[in-house]
Structure 1
């Protein structure tokens, strides 16, 4: 089975989490935390900053590691390294996604998350209840 390794930004502002809705491909209309693949020679943090600049026209600060999720999809295995992030500058312009939302902790279950992102939501919920 093909293995894909990615990074994802859990962008937090005023107690809300930034979620994006896919506008293309096999998982169109599902929600996710934005991010992408690490290019050769990049650290995970550098890749995350680049991906958010490319996808959302925004500069972020990678604040803390949150969780690594492993998830089997029908045609591949995904390893996703997730980081809590803050916006440094930019307006979170959607270049690849069809929709976005700022969701409070009690609203995270109101959207249809991709399977790997469901695990991230569980981790966020667990950490905020501690």
Structure 2
């Protein structure tokens, strides 16, 4: 049976721009993603998202709305990613785990080399926002 991983992602928006981060480690180093991470056992997705953004970006966010749940099969595991539209409530988006970050307009989103699951998030943004 394939390993299953459940994560959350923050699609952080500000003035019509979206915040993207570039991985600095692991198998998908240098690919772009929406920040977030694994949901711990017994943790609500929203709580996991607040915790992950504090850990990765030293920032507090406000979850504005649910965007989509993305299902993606990677070669070694199945990913379920719960994505939320968010805004910064306090902090300066300090990169603690990523090697780079950019703010992109909706039209610029397709210009990056996204992780495969995050390509599906970009498609949701383009369809729904």
Match of 2:46 in 1: 45
Match of 1:104 in 2: 105
Distance in 2 of aligned mates of 1:40 and 1:69: 19
1:80 equivalent to 2:81? Answer yes
TM-score by length of 2: 0.97
Q: CA deviation at 1:68?
A: 0.4
TM-score by length of 1: 0.97
Residue ranges of structure 2 left out of the alignment (5+ in a row): none
Q: CA deviation at 1:45?
A: 0.4
Secondary structure, counterpart of 1:42 in structure 2 = coil
Give the paired residue count: 128
Match of 1:118 in 2: 119
Runs of 4+ in 1 over 3 A off after TM superposition: none
Residue ranges of structure 1 left out of the alignment (5+ in a row): none
Q: CA deviation at 1:42?
A: 1.8
Distance in 2 of aligned mates of 1:3 and 1:50: 21
Secondary structure, counterpart of 2:75 in structure 1 = coil
Q: CA deviation at 1:41?
A: 2.8
Matches within 5 A, 1:1-130: 1-128=2-129
